[in-house]
Amino acid sequence: MAGGAVTRFAPSPTGLLHLGHAFSALTAFDAADRGQFLLRIEDIDRDRCHPEFEAAIFEDLEWLGLDWPQPVMRQSDRLAVYQAALDHLAELGVTYPCSCTRGDIRAALSAPQEGAPILGPDGLVYPGTCRGRRMYGIAEGDVIRLDAEAAFSVLGDNMLNFNDHSPHVLTREAFVTGIGDVVLARRGMGTSYHLSVVVDDAAQGITKVTRGLDLFESTWIHVLLQRLLDLPTPDYHHHRLIRDDAGKRLAKRDDARSLRELRGQGASAADIRALVGL
Ligand code: GLU
pTM of the predicted model as reported, rounded to 2 decimal places? 0.95
pLDDT of 254 reads: 61
Q: What are the start-end ranges of the H helices in the chain?
A: 19-32, 51-63, 79-92, 102-109, 148-155, 172-178, 193-203, 218-228, 259-264, 269-275
Would 238 be classed as within a structural domain?
no
Specify whether 54 is located in the same domain as 102. Answer: no
**Which residue from 12, 24, 49 has its CB within 8 A of the most atoms of ligand 1, so it is best to mutate?**
12
The answer to whether residue 232 is domain-embedded is: no
Q: Which domain holds residue 55?
A: 6-77+243-275
Encode pLDDT of 173-206 as tens digits.
999 999 999 999 999 899 999 999 999 999 999 9
CA of 193 to the centre of ligand 1 (A): 8
CA nearest ligand 1 atom 3, residue: 11
Centre of ligand 1 from the C-alpha of residue 199, in Å: 13
Separation of CA 3 and ligand 1 centre (Å):
25
Q: What is the pLDDT of residues 131-155, one digit of tens each?
A: 999 999 999 999 999 999 999 999 9
Domains: count for the chain:
2
Instruction: Report the CATH number that the domain containing residue 92 is assigned in CATH.
Output: 3.90.800.10
Whether the CA torsion 245, 64, 277, 201 is positive or negative: it is positive
- pLDDT band at residue 251 under the 50/70/90 scheme: low
Which CATH number is 268's domain given? 3.40.50.620
On whether residue 70 sits in a domain, the answer given is yes
Summarize the confidence of residues 78-82 as an average pLDDT. 98
Domain stop point among 185, 203, 218: 185
As a dihedral over the C-alpha atoms of residue 253, residue 259, residue 264, residue 265, rounded to 10 degrees, the angle is: 90
90 Cα: distance to centroid of ligand 1 (angstroms):
25
Report if residue 197 sits inside a domain: no
Ligand 1 atom closest to the CA of 24, numbered from 1: 8
Residues 67 and 90 in one domain: no
DSSP-derived secondary structure for 173-230: HHHHHHT-S-EEE-TTTS--HHHHHHHHHHHTT-SEEEEEGGGTTHHHHHHHHHHHTT
CA-based nearest residue to 194, from 166, 231, 155, 240: 231
Site residues for ligand 1, CB cut-off 6 Å: 10-12, 42, 197, 211, 215
Residue-wise pLDDT for 97-111, tens only, equals 999 999 999 999 998
Domain final position from 152, 169, 185 = 185
Last residue of a domain, one of 185, 218, 252: 185
Q: Which atom of ligand 1 is nearest to the CA of 21?
A: 4
State in Å: Cα 100 to ligand 1 middle.
Answer: 26
Residue 57 lies in a domain: yes
Does residue 226 lie in a domain region?
Answer: no
Distance CA 206, CA 6 (A): 5
Check whether residue 48 and residue 107 sit in a common domain: no
